């Protein structure tokens, strides 16, 4: 209902779902007409089973995004995308949230930090 409130009752045009599990169905229900629901991963550990009639009712697309395979099939496009991201960052238009920094000697702690799901943004290892 918060998404509907924020969008004037329209819903989300795009949902980026790296979590899956019990979060997917409410996100799918919050879609706008003809929106795109991007299935990125299943960090919750459970593969969701949303009612597919929601895609019909919303006129939306459910799209699987397997970045690893895409980078192998389209390496030139992948490089262009990274160049664009770096340009946006250099121009100050995007700034990824850095939640934690570790030294190279603390690499094991950094990995444990990620594994224990303590990171709230990017984790940086300084070399």
10 Å CB burial of residue 33 (0-12, 13-18, 19+) is exposed
CATH 3.40.50.720 fits 2-64, yes or no: yes
pTM (two decimals): 0.70
CA distance 109 to 19: 23
| Per-residue model confidence as pLDDT tens digits over 61-102 | 999 999 999 999 999 999 999 999 999 999 999 998 999 999
- Any idea where the domains of the chain sit in the sequence? 2-64, 96-127
In sequence order, the β-bridge partners of residue 50 are: none
pLDDT digits (tens, 9 = 90+) for 107-122: 999 999 999 989 888 9
């Amino acid at each position: 209902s918060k998404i509907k409130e924020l969008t004037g009752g329209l819903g989300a045009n795009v949902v980026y779902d790296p979590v899956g599990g019990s979060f997917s169905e409410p996100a799918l229900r919050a879609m706008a007409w003809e929106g795109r629901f991007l299935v990125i991963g299943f960090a919750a550990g459970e593969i969701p089973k949303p009612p597919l009639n929601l895609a019909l009712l919303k006129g939306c697309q459910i799209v699987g995004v397997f970045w690893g395979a895409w980078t192998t099939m389209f390496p030139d496009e992948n490089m262009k995308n990274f160049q664009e991201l770096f340009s946006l960052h250099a121009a100050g238009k995007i700034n990824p949230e850095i939640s934690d920094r570790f030294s190279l000697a603390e690499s094991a702690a950094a990995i444990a930090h990620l594994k224990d799901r303590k990171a709230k943004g990017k984790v940086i290892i300084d070399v």
